[in-house]
Structure 1
Amino acid sequence: MKGLSCATPAYPAHSPNACVPIVIIRSSSRVSVHKQDQPFVPEVAKAVDSLYSEFRAVDNLVACNTSRVLKAFQKARVGSHHFSGCTGYGHDEAGGRGALDQAFAEIFGAESAIVRSQFFSGTHAITCALFSFLRPGDELLAVAGAPYDTLEEVIGKRDSHHGVGSLKDFAVEYREVPLAENGGLDWEALKGALRPHTKCALIQRSCGYSWRKSLSINDIGMAIEMIKMQNPDCLVMVDNCYGEFVESMEPPMVGADLIAGSLIKNPGGTIAPCGGYVAGKEKWVEAAAARLSAPGLGIDCGSTSGDIMRAFFQGLFLAPQMVGEAIKGTFLVADVMASRGYKVQPLPRAPRHDIVQAVQLGSCERLLAFCEAVQRSSPVGSFTKPIAGTTPGYASEVIFADGTFIDGSTSELSCDGPLREPFAVYCQGGTHWTQWGLVLGEVLKSL
């Protein structure tokens, strides 16, 4: 065999066989053409072939967001000297931290940002943001229905550990505006929802474990405008988890006072091994930093040993591309599972506002089977069987399938779901959409 060439299209093609690579084998005596084995089962291959325009639109979004990230890195003059860590108090790392914070703020349209390994989850970052706003006698108003499970104990809504320091323990009142019947914001209810002591309005961008629509940047902007019209002094906090880089704008660009999230979700680009962020108005970022560390220390302390700063910078640069692959994965999951008769949220080919694709499976057995199939198809821990159980912060037993290189990373391919009606599985992440194509074959076989 003297030569080998393989032609693979950059996007799914429209002809049924066009996604099958053609291998041309040349020898001195003959030329023979062979079709390689189709990597996807027929249902997945059909969906891939039909999603050309959606995938192309995602690539355009990736280019737009990558351009914004690149310009921010250049403006912050990011250099290799920013990648070294430090020990102890971390006083000597101001250059690396400062450049990362500056680039992050620029990318997200914020006045300021704090990006730290000391935030150990999105819930932790959101909690610091909420405590920066709220004082005894204030009210927190959730305007997009019930918040994600892990915030219930932060608020004191599910007070299983009374006295440990929830907002309720600090005499902060809580109220929520239920969603409309269509799963979106209830605009009529929101018009008169604020009270004189409503200090902070919480907007959860992603669906969480609710069978509802995730919010678009346009929805968030309209909600903020409605809130500020009722009370200009009411502060708006956006839980930005799973939503970063899914659109070409971010909540601070439409008036959010603070946003917060996790680096092992979208903005870490599957590279960041831990951490979180808070971004927004400078005054409130500093207040959140004081909650993370201590008053007077704020953003000026904290060691970042090892190669973590390089991982943060590189992950942030890769984030738009990784999010793009995850979005393509949601389109594929929705198309394939809907063709099997399952309810999906968002609907196939509907615009995406986060990287979560929910599938309503209808029974505990099917939920477990779905997650087991995903785990079997993972690069890490494929030999293990996920077991549902109690997890800190969650109200129900939850099953997780996350054969990921970083523990719990939802920017890598994973899925999970609470063991409660309607037994929906929530799929997210994926470093490349083709992995979802392969996983779905195993899922369909299991179901």
Structure 2
Amino acid sequence: MKFADQTLALNDILSQRFGEIDQQVKTNLSRVLAAMRRHRVGSHHFASVSGYGHNDLGRDTLDRVFADVMQAEAAAVRVQLVSGTHAIACALYGVLRPGDELLAVAGSPYDTLEEVIGLRSNHQGSLKEFGITYRELSLTADGSVDWDHLGESVTPKTRMVLIQRSCGYSWRRSLAIADIERIVQIVKSQNPNTICFVDNCYGEFVEDREPTSVGADLMAGSMIKNPGGTIATTGGYLAGREDLVEMALCRLTAPGIGSSGGSSLDQNRLFFQGLFLAPQMVGEAMKGNALIAHTFDQLGYPVNPPADARQRDVIQAIKLGSPEKLIAFCKAIQQHSPVDSYVEPIPAGMPGYDSELVMAGGTFIDGSTSELSADGPLREPYVVYCQGGTHWTHVALALDAAVAAIGNAKSE
């Protein structure tokens, strides 16, 4: 039976969850509107300056609006941040100094951070090459934070704790805001001077609070993910304590320039409008994720998060169990994308990743994971990670094709 024929039955199951998501959208949109009113956003803020970027009124106003929305002391949205990984790297290099220790407390970090830290590759200027040591607290057998050993893992030498909110390419639950709050409290009780840094990618607007509202000192993310509302064409952000944001920006530009440099290159309107659209777009992605989880759970595939669980980010993982099904799934999603539907996803290496990846991403913004995309590394247990979606009905249409392509969990 095609997915379209199951819609009425699934609507009964999902209607309550969709209603809860709509209420979440309303709460978060109210916060965005309040920030825009407070800082008197007008059409004059859409203008841009060139060159060095000094006195860019729109950019500086956006920073203040974004800080309010992210419930932070300060923030910076910059075109010059090319990705979430770049924003995170600026935070790490900007704050950490030789002899400091970085401690990851939610297991191994996302693949693209391995070379930044120095776990793979050499002679590229990793943290390790600058004398910054690294440790990580492994997850428990069930994929949870090791709460029993978290406190003792923090030492007087631990300058920064890295908290990755999203699951990344691992089979664990992404962290809820309540989890992040608990981590911060435990870390600060052991060493009040330890900086709690959050990789917030994929998590913005999923709840009504952000990590900086529960004690995180600094966080970073990408503008072509949640907060760009699917229309920001590039960029990233930093938010948190004012001094730490400035330190990260001094890494992005140069000491003495920091936040005063970097022209916005006529992107201000898209950033403002994308931020306005973001709560709604995240809500649609969450509805699509709920739909994916219920559909593939019924077909016998393990899904993460579980079908009956609330989402903690905009990623829905499905354990497909074979490279053939992973590739077939991504081909089906690509064929039902609005852009490049004729392109066939082929596994290949990508900069920053240790395994070959297969990716479906027929998106208007190249690499945008706010729009519907799917990808996964070609390694066991062959998990596909679905992200984003501008409206859940598009997800439904793409799912019809994906189900037809791979069948149920017992199909060959």
TM-score range, shorter chain: over 0.9
Q: Percent identity?
A: 57
What amino acid is aligned across from residue 209 of structure 1 in structure 2? Y
1:49 to partner: Cα distance: 3.5
In 1, the alpha carbon distance for the partners of 2:97 and 2:85 equals: 19
User: 1:44/1:147 Cα in 2 relative to 1: closer, same or farther (>3 Å)?
Assistant: farther
1:42 to partner: Cα distance: 2.0
Structure 2 counterpart of 1:105, from 48, 67, 71: 67
Q: Which residue number corresponds to residue 405 of structure 2?
A: 446
In 1, the alpha carbon distance for the partners of 2:170 and 2:6 equals: 28
Structure 2 counterpart of 1:402, from 355, 361, 365: 361
In 1, the alpha carbon distance for the partners of 2:274 and 2:177 equals: 23
Identify the range of structure 1 (82-91 vs 272-281) with the bigger mean alpha-carbon deviation: 82-91
1:228 to partner: Cα distance: 0.3
Structure 2 counterpart of 1:75, from 38, 57, 64: 38
Matches within 5 A, 1:361-372: 361-372=320-331
1:92 to partner: Cα distance: 3.9
Report the TM-score, using the length of structure 2 for normalisation. 0.97
The answer (yes or no) to whether the contact 1:43–1:336 under 8 Å persists in 2 is no
The answer (yes or no) to whether the contact 2:18–2:287 under 8 Å persists in 1 is yes
Q: Which residue number corresponds to residue 161 of structure 2?
A: 201
In 1, the alpha carbon distance for the partners of 2:228 and 2:53 equals: 22
Q: Which residue number corresponds to residue 141 of structure 1?
A: 103
Report the TM-score, using the length of structure 1 for normalisation. 0.89
In 2, the alpha carbon distance for the partners of 1:39 and 1:62 equals: 30
Structure 2 residue runs of 5 or longer lacking an equivalent are 407-412
Q: Which residue number corresponds to residue 46 of structure 1?
A: 9
Helix, strand or coil at the partner of 2:153: coil
In 2, the alpha carbon distance for the partners of 1:121 and 1:427 equals: 19
Give CA-to-partner distance per residue, 1:100-123, whole Å, 9 cap, x none: 000000011111001000000000
User: 1:92/1:194 Cα in 2 relative to 1: closer, same or farther (>3 Å)?
Assistant: closer
What amino acid is aligned across from residue 128 of structure 1 in structure 2? C
Q: Which residue number corresponds to residue 131 of structure 2?
A: 171
Give CA-to-partner distance per residue, 1:158-201, whole Å, 9 cap, x none: 1x2x1221100101000000111221111001021012211000
The answer (yes or no) to whether the contact 2:41–2:61 under 8 Å persists in 1 is yes
The answer (yes or no) to whether the contact 2:55–2:260 under 8 Å persists in 1 is no
Helix, strand or coil at the partner of 2:260: coil
Alignment pair present for 1:157 and 2:119: yes
**Bigger RCO (CA 8 Å, 6+ sep):** 2
In 1, the alpha carbon distance for the partners of 2:243 and 2:7 equals: 49
What amino acid is aligned across from residue 356 of structure 1 in structure 2? I
1:71 to partner: Cα distance: 0.2
In 1, the alpha carbon distance for the partners of 2:274 and 2:240 equals: 21
Alignment pair present for 1:87 and 2:50: yes
In 2, the alpha carbon distance for the partners of 1:286 and 1:367 equals: 42
Q: Which residue number corresponds to residue 303 of structure 2?
A: 344
Q: Which residue number corresponds to residue 262 of structure 2?
A: 302
Q: Which residue number corresponds to residue 273 of structure 2?
A: 314
In 2, the alpha carbon distance for the partners of 1:349 and 1:108 equals: 28
1:356 to partner: Cα distance: 0.3
1:39 to partner: Cα distance: 9.8
Q: Which residue number corresponds to residue 410 of structure 2?
A: none
1:45 to partner: Cα distance: 4.4
The structure with the largest alpha-carbon Rg is: 1
User: 1:431/1:39 Cα in 2 relative to 1: closer, same or farther (>3 Å)?
Assistant: farther
What amino acid is aligned across from residue 257 of structure 1 in structure 2? D
Structure 1 residue runs of 5 or longer lacking an equivalent are 1-37
1:305 to partner: Cα distance: 2.2
In 2, the alpha carbon distance for the partners of 1:427 and 1:316 equals: 22
Q: Which residue number corresponds to residue 241 of structure 2?
A: 281
Q: Which residue number corresponds to residue 239 of structure 1?
A: 199
Q: CA RMSD in A?
A: 1.2
In 2, the alpha carbon distance for the partners of 1:40 and 1:134 equals: 50
Q: Which residue number corresponds to residue 269 of structure 1?
A: 229
In 2, the alpha carbon distance for the partners of 1:244 and 1:250 equals: 7
Q: Aligned residue pairs: how many?
A: 406
The answer (yes or no) to whether the contact 1:44–1:440 under 8 Å persists in 2 is no
The answer (yes or no) to whether the contact 1:144–1:178 under 8 Å persists in 2 is yes
